[in-house]
Structures are given as structure tokens and as C-alpha cells.
Structure 1
């Protein structure tokens, strides 16, 4: 506190900016560490001799710089600068080497893909004319035969599909960015679930959009909150994951989906439906893209059902947005590499994708059964064939403290705060995944470490002054 007083007194300009600068300097010096709780607005205002409004603006400026995160009812905490990097980092530590078991990453299960890749590359090596085409510039939407193949693939899973409205992208993240760049301008308001995929939050920030998170219940987005915000403001788009929501694993009910579509139509809000988890089971509800093809930008791909390194994303857009979206994609990267898309199309054409899907489903079911066996007496939620597990922590645990203790015990998981939009109130919960480890035995050891952490005594949480 003394350091802040001196630094702020020496600075010129607005006091709230000086406060944010002082927080940044304290982080750089190591005086403030990730997870540290800052003083309350009133306590700091009294100590600094400024108004509560000045402290509020200073904390908001620090949050805008991604230095802190505000948690309703809990306080303001120093943000872990490595959180988002960790969400997208895929350097999994080998548990046999003494490192932690990483259950924090939602990856595809690794099985027959390596052999499939080797076989497909060998086949292509004997087709010089095909290789020549794959090495040439193509239409920005993707090669026609590839779009036809993917449209059929999506159609089999119940997605209203049209190859003329389909664009091939460099993965689902690229599809999100292309959609936002096409339909939004800096300053536009976009909505999502209050807990959402961090990649969307990052894309929204990069596009300089205002991003607000909506409350959720057991059926998905709170439709009343969505409509209420539409009445008060003019959101440009709603990004959502109605199937296998990440991180909570909620499956939005058919009735709630219909409500969301009707509200979006009433207030002219475009929908970005993220279906990257791609649960192609018979029990699957109707995708928004099928319910409202004129309103929905459908985002899919093969990252979870085949392999993330393939970087094949799918973006299906309303008919009147095709030309503009194609222009955005061309300006962004000209086209997605056709080679990887060709490999995936061959897997689909040969039925290898179905064999891979069956293996992944069987393995996921077996791994989720392990979760039920070892953690079934805690508040967990997971789909039988999904990769993510949502765990609501016992009352004595705060999520950040739990994650830190779990890491000390040798397992990596993610807090709900990792997925929170802005100052959205994140519950005391964690998400972990069954898929990044090589086998069930490693998963079992990781689950044992999670249970060990649940059964241990939390450390005392002291505020930073």
C-alpha cells in the first residue's frame, strides 16, 4: 500500500490511470502475484485519499489491460497472465518424467489418427495431378469437391447444409475470427454465455468489440436475460455453444433453442453457433443452423473429432453473407490450405471418420466411467461421450486456491474464472478433461490427485494490503 501511495503521488495525469499503472508495476516487480486479492474499493479509496469512483475506474482500467479480474461478491484479483496462453498451449508434460498430469486441455483422443495420416499421405504421393491441384491457389471458399464432402458430413449429423454457403477455414478459431470480422465493426456489442470459450473472448477483444456474458441455467442461456438486454441495447451477435457447452457441458434444450432463435429474429441479432465439440449422437438436439439458416453462422471443424493439428474448420453462413464472408477470408489468408482438407475428405469418403468416431466414443465412455467411479460422490457433470468434466467445488474451496493446490499435488485443471466474460460472476468450480492424457491409467492417477485435493484442507486466503 505504501508503494502505491508513493507512486501515485509522483505521477501526473488522472489518478485512476496512475492506480492501474501502479498495479502493473507491482506485478512486474513481483510484489503482486496471480490470485492475490486487492483491497476493497472503499479501503483503498480511504488509504489513497481519493473517491471510491476513482478506485473503481482504476480497477476497471486494470481489468481492461487484463491485469486483474473482478469477481462479484469476492473482490478484485490479480489475473494470471499465462491463463489464456495455457488454454491454447498444447505442450503436454509427460507424467512419467515427474511433471504434472495435464487435464486442463480439451483435445481429441489420440488413437488411429497417426496411421490414417500415413496411409492417406502415401495414397496422395501416387497421384501427381491431385498433388498439383492441392499446391495451387483455389477458390477462397475451398475446393468444390471438398465443400460438397463436408456438406454431406454435416448433413448426416442433422446440420442444414449447403456447399455454396460453406467456407473452409484454418480451424474453428479462424472461423470465429472471420465471422466477427465480417459482421461486426469496432465498438459493436456481442453477447455470449457468461462462461464461454476463451478463444471467442480473445477474438472479440482483438476486433475491439464490447463483450457481455449472459446468465445461464440448466437449459442454457437465460432467454429472459437475452431478450432484456436486446430491449435495452442493440447487440450485433450472440455467440453460443448449445451442444456440449464448454466449460459447463450443458446441452441446451430444444425449447430453449427455439426461444433463442425467436428472440434473435425479433431483434435482428445474428447467431454464431459453435459446434466444434460435434456431438453426432442420435439424441442430439436440432442445431440452430437448421432452425434458422438465414440467421446463423455455423462454426464447426474436426479438432475434437479427428485431430486439432489438421486445422480444418468449417464456417457455414446465411446466403446473403456468403460474398462478404468470402471476401473477408480472402483478405485474411486468401484460402485455407487444401491439402489438410483433402486428407480429411478422404477419411470421410472411406468411412475412416466413422471408425475413428466409434473408437473415440467407446474410449470416452470408458474414461467417463472412471470419473464417475472416482468422483461420483462430488457435484460433477459430463456427457457420456464428451471430453470435458465440470466439477462444482465443496463450500470450503475457492477455485483459484483449489487449482493451485491441485498443481502442487501433481495435476493441472482450469478454474471457472478462466472462462468468465469480463466481470461475470464465475462459480467456485473447475473444468478438467479426460482426453489429453495417453491412457486410462494416467487419467486414473490424475483423478486420484483431484480427489486428494478435494479431501485436503484449503489454505488460508489473506487479502493483499
Structure 2
């Protein structure tokens, strides 16, 4: 792989600013990824024909701009991009890194065979509507009936015609947000929320209002106050172990939130993408307040990554709007994959995949408790990740960059934070992206890093 180098012929006075600008452009263009170590200053100075002092001042300037972090004795390396739209995971998997940054279910070779067998079944049984039709109404009615039965098993009574089948939870979230809030409106959410909700609201012209939380999730008073200020036409909820902090909201808190929503006529968007993977979870919000909840039930995170499908169920008053919003943004879910999902629900393959996932997650959570003993982290027994709050004085972006420098990728809390109003530096550690032995090594690296003193933000000279 070619390593990016500054162009000495493009330097102009003052040279250190010109050099810093070249680095900044390379970072912005993706030529220098987060975690990339910059050359030692003496070597770069020699290569460019500059003084070490000039290169040192350029690195200082990059640190001042928040683009680079420097550790005494280790060197300087690129930080994740600034702003709320930062991607929490690696956009490309590097064979040199243990990737604990991306949230995905655990899988092994058996999952590949299951997918192959499933696609073989679809190839043998594929009908003309799924292969040839452009009209959702002619393709999906039978699949909506199966979806309604699936939701009923999770405690939600949804009419088949109220269900929109989408290509994954992201599509469902987009449709739900567009259905619940007009452009220029306001959506309230926990201060730490789904990382894609932040840029989505920006693109749609929707104000995203951060709400205070405690160990049980969003505080009802926080939602009430936001509604009184006109900052909560709807509220986005992740009540069942999928939120960044893996919160499992109690039924009492769910009822308190619903009471506020009813008093202010607030629509609730419930992201319940782990759904039945979570054993003994309280009743979904959609079961407690069916008249105002847009409910999202996913399969990608509970079964295997290739099954990118979700169910969005809407209250009767929003059914037509949800269908229309999905139509204009996605038209319809991929019929061939919907055929596969429906078949797997009917023959219990989905149940077997979910049970396998529970067992595998239990083993990984046990390992994490052993490896991170004494650290301040949260994780539900069936969550796909851990939320690690950092000790006082440790910066989350610096911690992520330091971890990457040691060979493990994790996600900065900044990617999930609406703003810094309730900031507590933290990182997300995904448990599913890699095999168990590699997870053990990654957790050991993180444990070792936690034991170190915070390094000063200075470049190596």
C-alpha cells in the first residue's frame, strides 16, 4: 500500500503552515485515515529538506486544529474526524487490526452455509412476483402477514397492512423519522443515541434535542421540559439494550415516558432491533402505547449480517404516511431477501439463529467481565457491545487513537453524542466482529491501555 507523502514542491512560506495544510487536506480526503501514524519528525524533515523545527511546528499546528494527537515516546497519529458525523467504525477492515469498532452479530463458518442453503431454497422456489414485479402491493401481502405473526410473538399486535418491510433498520429509522416529524420540527432523543440519527436529522432539517438520562434511560422530566419548549414533536427511543449505554429500560420508566408522550401528543419511535434476542425484556413501547409508537424490529443484528431486513409497524393514523415515505425513499425491500426471511421464520431457522447468538454472546460477556474487571463499563448479557466510561482525564478520541496504535479498533463516544451538554468520555467495544481468541487479545490491549497514565498531547521531537 502506498503511504501518502507531502509534496515538497507545493510548500510555500510560512513552510510549517503550508505543510500542515497538506496534512489537513490528506486527512479530509481520506488519504490519511484515523489512527495512521505520521512519520517521525526527523525523518520527514530529512525527506522534505526542511528543518526539524519546521516539521515540529507543523505537527503542533495539526494538534492545535484537533487533527492529530502526539504521545511522548510513541509518535503522532491521526485522530477521528471532528464533528458529530464521525463514523464510529472502521470503513475498511485492516488485517493488521483487531476490529472491535463495528456493531455486528457473532458469526462463524456455519452462518455462511446457512445463507447458502437459504439462497438455494429461494432459487428453487422463487415465484414470478418476487422476481418480476415492480409493485409492492403484489409482492408483499403474504410476507406482511408473516411479519404480523412474528411481531405478535414479541408482544406487539400489528395489522399486516400497518407493517412496512424495509432493507434493514437504517431504512426503517429514516422512514419513521420522516413520518413522525415535519421538516423544521424537533426530535428528542437520549444525549447518547444512534450514530446515524445525528446526520439524518441534519439532512432533513430537523432539530435533534438531547435529553438527560440515568441508569434507566431517558428521564421523563427531561422529555416533559423539551415538549414544553416545543423541542419534542417526537422522541426516538432505544429502550432494550441497543442504545450506546446498553440501557434496559424498566417497564415503570416506559410507562412514565408514555404518560408524558400522551400529555403532549408526542409520537414515539421505538428502535427495538434486538427484539426477541433479549430474554425477559419488558413489554415493548408499541405494546404499551400502540396508538403513538412507530416500532422497528430488525434481523441483521440478531441473526447474521447478510439478512438486511427490518419491520416497521405504524399506528393506524400513520400507516399511509409511513408507506408513502418508504415508497419515495426506498420503493420496497428487496423481494428475494424478503422471501428468504419469511421462509426462515416459517421453518424456525430465525429462532435457531437467535438462540445461537444468545449462547455465543453469553460466552463473550463472561470473557469481557473477566478481562475488564475493575473498569467502569456497562453491558447487557444479550447486548452486542460494551460501553466503557474512561477514567477522569482520559480523552475518548485520544484513547481510540492510542488503542488503534496498539492494534485494536474501538469506537469513540463522540460519534453517538448529540452535543457535549452531558459529556462523559467513553468508548464502545463491539463483541461480535471477530473470533473469540482475537477478542481476548483486543480486550487485553484495552485493559493495558486503561492502566497507563494519560499521555500529554505533545508531538515527539
The alignment's TM-score, normalised by the length of structure 1, stands at 0.79
Is residue 350 of structure 2 the alignment partner of residue 326 of structure 1?
Answer: no
**SS of the residue 1:309 aligns to:** coil
- Aligned residue for 2:88, secondary structure, equals helix
For residues 83 and 184 of structure 1, the distance between their equivalents in structure 2, rounded to whole angstroms, comes to 21
Which of residues 257, 268, 271 in structure 1 aligns to 2:268?
A: 271
CA contact (8 A) 1:142 1:168 kept: no
Compared CA separation, residues 119 and 267, structure 1 to 2 (3 A): same
1:92 maps to what in 2?
93
Counterpart-to-counterpart distance in 2, 1:123 and 1:29:
47
1:290 and 2:287 are equivalent in the alignment: yes
- Highest RCO, 1 vs 2 (Cα 8 Å, sep ≥ 6): 2
**Matched residues in 1 for 2:83 and 2:107: separation?**
26
Find the counterpart in structure 2 of residue 445 from structure 1: 441
> How far off is 1:135 after superposition?
2.9
C-alpha distance in structure 1 between counterparts of 2:139 and 2:380, whole Å: 33
CA distance in 2, matches of 1:429, 1:87: 12
TM-aligned CA deviation for residue 68 of structure 1 = 8.4
- Give the total of aligned pairs: 395
Asked whether 1:138 is paired with 2:152, we answer: no
* Offset, 1:333: 2.6
- Structure 2 unaligned spans of 5+: 1-19, 35-64, 68-78
| TM-superposed deviation, 1:246 | 2.0
Equivalent residue in structure 1 for 2:192, among 171, 195, 206: 195
Give secondary structure in 2 for the equivalent of 1:250.
coil
- Aligned partner (choices 134, 153, 159) of residue 150 of structure 2: 153
Indicate the SS of the match to 1:196.
coil
Corresponding position of 1:413: 410
Asked if the contact 2:212–2:422 (Cα under 8 Å) also holds between the matched residues in 1, the reply is no
What SS does the corresponding residue of 2:432 show, helix, strand or coil? coil
Cα distance in 2 between the residues matched to 1:218 and 1:225: 14
Partners of 1:355 and 1:295 in 2: CA distance? 32
Say yes or no: does 1:346 pair with 2:377: no
Q: Structure 2 vs 1, CA of residues 301 and 83 (structure 1 numbering), >3 Å: closer, same or farther?
A: same
* 1:455 partnered with 2:451: yes
Give 1:369's aligned residue: 366
- Preserved contact between residue 158 and residue 286 of structure 1 (Cα < 8 Å): yes
**Structure 2 residue aligned with 1:386:** 383
Cα shift at 1:272: 0.4
CA displacement 1:77-113 (0-9 Å, x = unmatched): x97159856436563333xxxx111101110111333
Q: How does 1:23-38 map to 2 (within 5 A)?
A: 27-28=24-25
- Paired with 2:417 and 2:97, the residues of 1 have a C-alpha distance of 25
Normalising by structure 2, we get a TM-score of 0.79
CA separation in 1, counterparts of 2:139 and 2:265?
29
Cα 1:200–1:313, aligned 2, differ >3 Å: closer, same or farther? Answer: same
Change (3 A) 1:159 1:125: same
1:214: which partner in 2? 211
What does residue 228 of structure 2 align with?
231
Corresponding residue of 1:120: 118
CA distance in 1, matches of 2:349, 2:295: 24
**Cα separation, partners in 2 of 1:392 and 1:422, compared to 1, 3 Å:** closer
| 275-284 vs 221-230, which moves further | 275-284
Contact between 1:125 and 1:131, CA under 8 Å: does it hold in 2? Answer: no
Q: Secondary structure at the match of 2:115?
A: helix
Which residue matches 1:422?
419
| Offset, 1:303 | 1.2
For the Cα contact (< 8 Å) 1:157–1:280, is it kept in 2?
Answer: no
CA distance in 2, matches of 1:425, 1:230: 19
Contact 1:140 1:329 in 2 (8 A): no
Q: SS state of the match for residue 205, structure 2? A: coil
RMSD: 2.8
Q: Is the 8 A contact 1:104 1:412 kept in 2?
A: yes
Aligned to 1:80: 81
The answer on whether the counterparts of 2:80 and 2:86 sit within 8 Å (CA) in structure 1 is no
- State the SS of the aligned residue for 1:271: strand
1:355–1:245 distance in 2 versus 1, CA, 3 Å: closer
- Which one of the candidate residues 295, 314, 318 is aligned to 1:317? 314
Mapped partners of 2:409, 2:89: distance in 1 = 14
